[in-house]
Amino acid sequence: MSEPVLPLEITHLVKEFSTKRALNDFNLTLAQGEIAALLGPNGAGKTTLIGCLLGFLSADAGQIRLFGEDVNSLTPQVRNRIGFVPQTLTGFTWFRVGELLTYLAGYRPADTPQDDRWLEWAALDPTARIKSLSGGERQRLAIVLALRFRPDLIVLDEPVASLDPQARHDFMRLLPEYAHQHGATVLISSHIISDLENICDRFVIMRRGQIVLDVSEAVLQGQVRHLSALPRPEWGVHVLAPAEDGGVWVSGWQPGLDDAALGQGVAVQQPDVETLFLALSR
Ligand SMILES: Nc1ncnc2c1ncn2[C@@H]1O[C@H](COP(=O)(O)OP(=O)(O)OP(=O)(O)O)[C@@H](O)[C@H]1O
């Protein structure tokens, strides 16, 4: 049986801006249906990575494949399978909302399936001029434009920062619902970690152009722990980072080690992504 085609495959990616290396031998593969959080402090390289994988920026080395095709020579078929939500929508200011939706739909084959939930969620006035929309309304429109033609790979760069709490809450409920229904793959970058904790099944934490931790939700819950003191060498765990309270974060934890830790007076806690992120970002 042939291997399934991966929605996203990034190998040995390097991107430099004059003397600054924004991506440093970056590797990432996403399987169909994964919902992955891309986390990292300011300047970690998230937007650069997204720019490269959408073909907006050219890499200095390495390769990006989307649905098996090189990002620099995508066919229209694969291009149409990708939805991108930017941090803010720019351009198109002279259009009315409804006109823009019709105009962009003209670039799609007539039989392209649509998903109306995004238009309902966005609740935009089709007669409103885009230049008169608020920042949050423009962002709703950006989301509609990216998702209404049922993409199979969705890339979102800080998509919810300008949304009001209700819109953000509803979007974060609809996004995984959509992904599960259509088997879509999602890569979402956000600084609002509490939003991502409930919807992502993988967490990719990057710093200085590289991945410092890439774990599934299951591994995070099963094998990553906060310890109140350094682990014993014979436990065979890997120290990820010191914690602010004097303890440490470790990976490779096994259930059998709980008793050993108890015997040494070491308190063991389940991970909280935000605290772990803060420790790994320092
Ligand atoms: N056009 C550019 N010219 C020079 N340096 C750049 C350029 N774009 C990005 N960089 C640098 O590359 C690094 C990564 O930037 P990037 O915007 O990818 O980070 P980020 O993780 O998206 O940050 P943020 O969370 O602040 O959006 C930073 O050090 C940034 O200064």
pLDDT of residue 10: 97
Q: What is the DSSP letter of 52?
A: H
Element (H, E) at 276: helix 273-281
Residues with CB under 6 A from ligand 1: 17, 20, 22, 40, 42-48
Long-range contacts (CB closer than 8 Å, 24 or more residues apart) made by 124-129: 124/97, 125/97, 126/96, 126/97, 126/98, 126/101, 127/96, 127/97, 127/98, 128/96, 128/97, 129/93, 129/94, 129/95, 129/96
- How much is the ipTM here? 0.97
Residue 33, amino acid: G
pLDDT of residue 225: 94
Residue 65 β-bridge partners: 9, 70
Distance 199 CA to ligand 1 centre (A): 26
Ligand 1 atom at minimum distance from 209 CA: 14
Atom 27 of ligand 1, nearest CA residue? 42
What residue spans of 54-164 are helical by DSSP H? 76-79, 97-105, 117-122, 135-147
Predicted pLDDT of residue 271: 87
**What are the φ and ψ backbone dihedral angles of 138, each rounded to 5 degrees?**
-65, -40
Separation of alpha carbons 230 and 50, rounded Å: 37
Helix (H/G/I), strand (E/B), else coil: 9: strand
CA distance 141 to 154: 15
Instruction: Specify the CATH architecture of the domain 8-213.
Output: 3-Layer(aba) Sandwich (3.40)
pLDDT at residue number 29 = 96
Calculate how far, in angstroms, residue 22's C-alpha sits from the geometric centre of ligand 1.
Answer: 7
Q: 122 — phi, psi (to 5°)?
A: -70, -30
| Amino acid making up residue 219 | V
Pairing of strands 153-157, 82-85: parallel
Would you give per-residue pLDDT tens digits along the chain (282 residues)? Answer: 567 799 999 999 999 998 899 999 999 999 999 999 999 999 999 999 999 999 999 999 999 999 999 999 999 999 999 999 998 888 888 899 999 999 888 888 878 888 889 999 999 999 999 999 999 999 999 999 999 999 999 999 999 989 999 999 999 999 999 999 999 999 999 888 888 988 999 999 999 999 999 988 888 889 999 999 999 999 999 999 898 888 999 999 998 999 999 999 999 998 888 888 888 887
User: Hey, how many other C-beta atoms are within 10 angstroms of the C-beta on 33?
Assistant: 15
206 CA to centre of ligand 1 in angstroms: 13
User: CATH 3.40.50.300 in the chain, residues?
Assistant: 8-213
- pTM for this one? 0.91
SS (H, E, C) 105-128: HCCCCCCCCCCCHHHHHHCCCCCC
- The span from the CA of 58 to the CA of 79, in Å, is 17
> Cβ–Cβ contacts within 10 Å for residue 132, how many?
11
Contact between residue 249 and residue 276 where contact means Cβ atoms under 8 Å apart:
yes
pLDDT for 17: 94
**Residue of 42, 156, 157 to mutate, ligand 1, most atoms within 8 A of C-beta:** 42
Q: Name the phi and psi angles at 30, rounded to 5.
A: -115, 135
Smallest Cα–Cα separation from 129: which of 105, 162, 103, 99?
99
Q: Point out the ligand 1 atom lying closest to the alpha carbon of residue 50.
A: 18
